Structure 1
Amino acid sequence: MTDKKRQLALAVFLTRHGHHPGAWRQPNSANTGKPDFRYWADLVRTAERGKLDAAFFADFVGQSGDSTKGIARRHAFLDFEPLTATAALASITSHIGLVATVNTNFEQPYALARRFASLDHISGGRIGWNIVSSLEGGAAKSFGVDQPPSHAERYARAHEYLAVVKALWDSWDDDAFEDADRETGVYRKADAVHPVHHDGEYFHLDSVLDMPRPIQGYPVFAQAGNSEVGRDFAARHAEMIYAAAQFIEDAQAFYADVKARVVAHGRAPDTLKVMPGLSFTIARSLQEAQDKFGELEEAVDFSGDLNLMGQDVSAYPLDGPLPDLPEPENGKGRWKQLTALAKRENLTIRQLFLRFNAVRGHRVVLGTPVDIADQIQDWFERGAADGFNLIPPLLPSSLEDFVDLVVPELQRRGIFRTEYEGTTLRQHLNLPRPFNPNSKSAAPEKPTLETAA
């Protein structure tokens, strides 16, 4: 981690049609839900042309077999499995980071550590892992989980999971495979291997990873946690945290809270990048941008089942108030944000869908490229964000507008790069490379990241 001028971080969350539920009905959106690698390749190349730090891929894994009611009219995020997609995308890009979502509930640590190490080498050090430990009902049924663990238990298991995969990545020195000696027949140093003997509450293994240590040491860790437990998990492990806030005061409070937790865990505050989601519509005037966004709003389908942040509200009047509902087991932080907004502004269920559910609680900015850049710079400079995870409402056009119109404005202001200065995702984000605690020759780069313990 080097001392240099603080720079805005920008990632983009890519989906099939765009993030707004009315996007797929627009005439300039993709006209099919079938997987199309060329579509994703074009999107990521556009993001790389804009010098963005990373492209982010979510994974809404597991559709219950009894959840097909009204499915004919339901737009869903159904596409490539993220690790498979990032492997292919790494081959057609050269600089942009690729962040894949993987759920710790459905993967064994050894298998996942092996795949991420492979991807980091394939990509030249550009892989990130969005760590998810949620367990929706549909996913539980798809994977045959009869008794889903509680929110607290899932996070406890995820803590141990991280310790195990870090230990596996550290089972080889960085230079273990670089000095094969044909003359002596010594392929690698005998003391370069560090077997993992782990006997924990959730995992038991005795192993050495059959892949060299990742180029980045570890993939860059990302996490989206708004709950108390989620924030603390991010402060302990993550290097990017995806947050949701519609108002700068809420974003500033979240930023200060998470940074304080990072310090409490013995880390430097800059080793965790706080990146709220940002939805945007860009036009030549505010009125034109409002009109464009209005076309998306008008295309939202309110027929059939209505799911509000995981809660089925179909039985309640669409233009009535949000009833008192029990807090869900997943997405506790987002649910608290939604209910607080509903009470503060006395919103109906329909209004909540359009104000919150359609953009999942994220900030929405409408206007000219200068207007969008003003909002970004304001949050960046006033302690509300280190950067943003862009949430284009309509793809590919929203991303193209941002890259062609907003990025040059941010560059003119000197807060965003004009060229990539490094080759790895850690270098883009100015994050330290974690040292291997087992290596006698390695010394930690200050400030250090927490290592597996």
Structure 2
Amino acid sequence: MTSEEQRKKLRLAAFIYSGQQSQIWRHPKYGIPHDSLDVDYFIKYAQLAESARFDTLFLADGASFPTGPLAKHHWSVSSFEPATLFSAIAARTEHIGLVYTASVSDNEPTHVARQLASLDHISHGRAGWNVVTTLGPGTQNLGVPLEETKDTAAKYARARKFLNAVQTLWDSFEDDALLRNKESGIYVDLDKVHWPNIDDGLYKIDQPLRVERPVQGHPVIAQAGTSPEGIAFGGSTADLIYCANYSIEDGQKTFKALKGAAAAAGRNPDHLVILTGVAVIWGETPEEAERKLKEVSSLWPIEVAVSNLHIGFGDADLDSPFPDTYDHMFSAGRAAAIASYARANKLTIRQIAERCSIGLGHRPLVGTTQSIADDLQVWLEAEATDGFAVIQPLLIDGLKDFATHIVPELQRRGLFRTEYEGRTLRENLGSPRPTNRYSVRTP
């Protein structure tokens, strides 16, 4: 094996928007404001990311309708249901992964299990689920009596039970349960179809899933929590972790903690892939890149930019230094990363909002081909991440810049694949296929 083959390769995910980048529709380049239900646009985006050999797409989603006076600014008031959109994309792509968000607080285990198993079969093994614990008004649409809580431990306890239920359902069929024997007329070996016995105080499930085991065994499990509870949960259960870090030092701490949690859970830490969010704006020159940054950030009314941080500042003056205390409204880990970046760079609340609004609260990376590639390489080689969840503030135009300029440079340096390694998302990530729990029988 050559030194280039031995060199660690970057993993890359491409964010594909369903409305979170709520102000880009105002960009003057769009003669008609961007349509969040233009399926052909999303298919083109996916095909472009696949042509650049990205590991996966990532679709953030939530069940809650935007509330308050700022909702009038948001394109997220109308967006596709993720499994439906990704089923359309699956039919027009061959290799790229399809990972989407479904909250344990806004869904039921049986529905999530069947949707993801179906998508895994439709895509021939490319589905993934971003497991989040957010609790919001979306629960009201289910008629589920969930109490609003900020008790992180309670939310992760729910997430563990939900995930266990879903994975148990995926294992309903053993891999060889479907005989489809024309001569005998036997379609299924019922001895290899298992009836779950789930009654854990939250979920009661006693029937097998109505779809055979997914191609990947279990679709890829992604998470984004970096609180102590989130690290323990992700380290023990996830294949992918998305995180927000603004400095290599913070990235190294998160990387070490997550890999350590995986090892403590008896897993191979190399089977846990850590991706750091980064909002990339490319320019032929530094000046062009900064101009593009100002162009896109100027689209954000300041109140929307502040709201997009998902941090509560109370009555603090927007032009005052970032406060020592604040209220995280979405992710404790992401809020802490933003706070650390703001304090290190002596930024006011207004300045951090203007800079970070374009990237969903992730680190902005603005520069040229060389400076962007250098940055990604330094993070990888410092063991601050395994790769990046690449956010495109300029949507498909930004992805074109990344695919045209950054990816070839990463490939030239031997840091990124030139061809996909396998057929399924697990194969491309180097993530082992889980064994069916019912196949492991004692003599």
Whether TM exceeds 0.5 here: the answer is yes
- Quick check: 228-237 or 212-221, which moved more? 228-237
Q: Provide the C-alpha distance between the structure 1 equivalents of 2:175 and 2:86, rounded to a whole number of angstroms.
A: 24
Q: Provide the C-alpha distance between the structure 1 equivalents of 2:380 and 2:208, rounded to a whole number of angstroms.
A: 43
Q: How far 1:414 moved relative to its partner?
A: 1.6
- Quick check: 416-425 or 339-348, which moved more? 339-348
Render the CA deviation track for 1:392-417: whole Å, top value 9, x for unaligned.
Answer: 11111100011111111111112211
Aligned positions of 1:236-385 closer than 5 A: 236-302=236-302, 306-307=306-307, 309-313=309-313, 315-323=315-323, 325-328=325-328, 330-385=330-385
Aligned twin of 2:28: 27
Q: What is the one-letter code of the residue matched to 2:189?
A: K
Render the CA deviation track for 1:191-219: whole Å, top value 9, x for unaligned.
Answer: 31222111212112211122110000000
Q: What is the one-letter code of the residue matched to 2:8?
A: R
Q: Provide the C-alpha distance between the structure 1 equivalents of 2:198 and 2:103, rounded to a whole number of angstroms.
A: 21
Aligned twin of 2:8: 6
3-state DSSP of counterpart to 2:267: coil
Q: Provide the C-alpha distance between the structure 1 equivalents of 2:87 and 2:65, rounded to a whole number of angstroms.
A: 24
Q: Contact 1:18 / 1:395 at 8 angstroms: preserved in 2?
A: no
Aligned positions of 1:384-399 closer than 5 A: 384-399=384-399
Cα 1:192–1:134 change in 2 (3 A) is same
Q: Contact 2:297 / 2:355 at 8 angstroms: preserved in 1?
A: no
Q: Contact 1:118 / 1:214 at 8 angstroms: preserved in 2?
A: yes
Q: Contact 1:18 / 1:396 at 8 angstroms: preserved in 2?
A: no
Relative contact order, higher structure (CA 8 A, sep 6+): 1
Cα 1:70–1:410 change in 2 (3 A) is closer
Task: Percent identity, please.
Answer: 37
Q: What is the one-letter code of the residue matched to 1:387?
A: G
Cα 1:382–1:326 change in 2 (3 A) is closer
Task: State the TM-score, normalizing by the size of structure 2.
Answer: 0.91
Q: Contact 1:120 / 1:214 at 8 angstroms: preserved in 2?
A: yes
Aligned twin of 1:162: 163
Aligned positions of 1:40-439 closer than 5 A: 40-63=42-65, 67-74=67-74, 76=76, 78-136=78-136, 138-140=137-139, 143=142, 147-149=147-149, 150-177=151-178, 179-302=179-302, 306-307=306-307, 309-313=309-313, 315-323=315-323, 325-328=325-328, 330-439=330-439
Unaligned runs of 5+ in 1: 443-453
Task: State the TM-score, normalizing by the size of structure 1.
Answer: 0.89
Q: Provide the C-alpha distance between the structure 1 equivalents of 2:216 and 2:70, rounded to a whole number of angstroms.
A: 45
Q: How far 1:326 moved relative to its partner?
A: 5.0
Q: Provide the C-alpha distance between the structure 2 equivalents of 1:198 and 1:71, rounded to a whole number of angstroms.
A: 39
3-state DSSP of counterpart to 1:207: coil
Q: Contact 2:309 / 2:361 at 8 angstroms: preserved in 1?
A: no
Cα 1:70–1:204 change in 2 (3 A) is closer
Count, aligned residues: 435
Unaligned runs of 5+ in 2: none
Q: What is the one-letter code of the residue matched to 1:399?
A: L
Render the CA deviation track for 1:146-168: whole Å, top value 9, x for unaligned.
Answer: 62243221210110111111111
Q: Contact 2:55 / 2:96 at 8 angstroms: preserved in 1?
A: yes
Q: Provide the C-alpha distance between the structure 1 equivalents of 2:323 and 2:420, rounded to a whole number of angstroms.
A: 49
Q: Provide the C-alpha distance between the structure 2 equivalents of 1:441 and 1:411, rounded to a whole number of angstroms.
A: 45
Q: Provide the C-alpha distance between the structure 2 equivalents of 1:73 and 1:216, rounded to a whole number of angstroms.
A: 40
Q: How far 1:72 moved relative to its partner?
A: 3.2
Q: How far 1:377 moved relative to its partner?
A: 1.4
Q: How far 1:89 moved relative to its partner?
A: 0.9
Cα 1:347–1:141 change in 2 (3 A) is farther
Q: Provide the C-alpha distance between the structure 1 equivalents of 2:99 and 2:39, rounded to a whole number of angstroms.
A: 17
Q: How far 1:359 moved relative to its partner?
A: 2.5
Q: Provide the C-alpha distance between the structure 1 equivalents of 2:72 and 2:420, rounded to a whole number of angstroms.
A: 44
